[in-house]
Chains A and B, each alone.
Chain A
Amino acid sequence: KAGVTQTPRYLIKTRGQQVTLSCSPISGHRSVSWYQQTPGQGLQFLFEYFSETQRNKGNFPGRFSGRQFSNSRSEMNVSTLELGDSALYLCASSADRGLNEQYFGPGTRLTVT
């Protein structure tokens, strides 16, 4: 079974721009979560989608948004990029509602200049 895939792997953007990141979960997995990883804050939960509905959301500003499609693929959007948004963005998928067995993708490394 193919793992979680994320595109693009690397991205460089300028302050004020917006960016869209994509995640394809493991086949059959319906839950997709997004995380931000930085050296200072570690891994922080952004949001989780299950069957196209946002089930939970972390403490991030409204500039961070996401969606999930009927095939479980998910996208994350960050608008009006700030320097502090530079991070590794990780997507994870799990079957049904069980977050205790989440499988992570390789991440998208976003650099904001």
Chain B
Amino acid sequence: QKEVEQDPGPLSVPEGAIVSLNCTYSNSAFQYFMWYRQYSRKGPELLMYTYSSGNKEDGRFTAQVDKSSKYISLFIRDSQPSDSATYLCAMIGGGSNYKLTFGKGTLLTVNP
């Protein structure tokens, strides 16, 4: 079992839809949880990071962490065609696990 599992999609939604992206993980040592967005032929761009269980909101984006279920989510409200990209979850553990472990990414297309 991979440490971080992420549905690769692809996910296609109409403009204005609410998008839900998810990752599950197996390593309970993970402490920080990040979401990155990667456009084609570009490097990943940090969207949000959270430390504890709960919600964190930034504009149209909401990150949710449930450590008891080892499940994290990213919600995008009022999705726009410019949101079309690959979304990657990433996690950091402690000690020797102090490095980013990524999910494989979910390809999202928002259709006008």
Contacts and interface: CB of A to CB of B under 8 A. Distances in A.
Interface size class of B (residues with CB under 8 A): 20 to 34
Interface in A74-113: 90, 92, 99-107
B42 interface: yes
Contacts of B34: 100
A4 B98 CA distance: 21
A104 B98 CA distance: 17
B46 A42 contact: no
A43 B102 contact: yes
Interface of A: 4, 33, 35, 42-45, 48, 55-56, 58, 90, 92, 99-107
Interface of B: 32, 34, 36, 41-46, 49, 51, 88, 90, 92, 96, 98-105
Residue among A55, A92, A99 with the most chain B CB within 10 A? A99
B44 A4 contact: no
B99 A104 contact: no
B88 A43 contact: yes
Given A42-B104, A42-B105, A100-B32, A90 B98 contact: no
15 contacts: A35-B100, A42-B88, A43-B100, A48-B99, A56-B96, A90-B43, A99-B32, A99-B92, A99-B99, A100-B32, A100-B92, A104-B36, A104-B43, A104-B44, A106-B43
A6 to B, nearest CB: 8
B45 to A, nearest CB: 7
Nearest to B8: A42
A21 B46 CA distance: 23
A99 B90 CA distance: 11
Contacts of B101: 45
Contact of B102 (A42, A48, A103): A42
Given A42-B104, A42-B105, A43-B88, A99 B46 contact: no
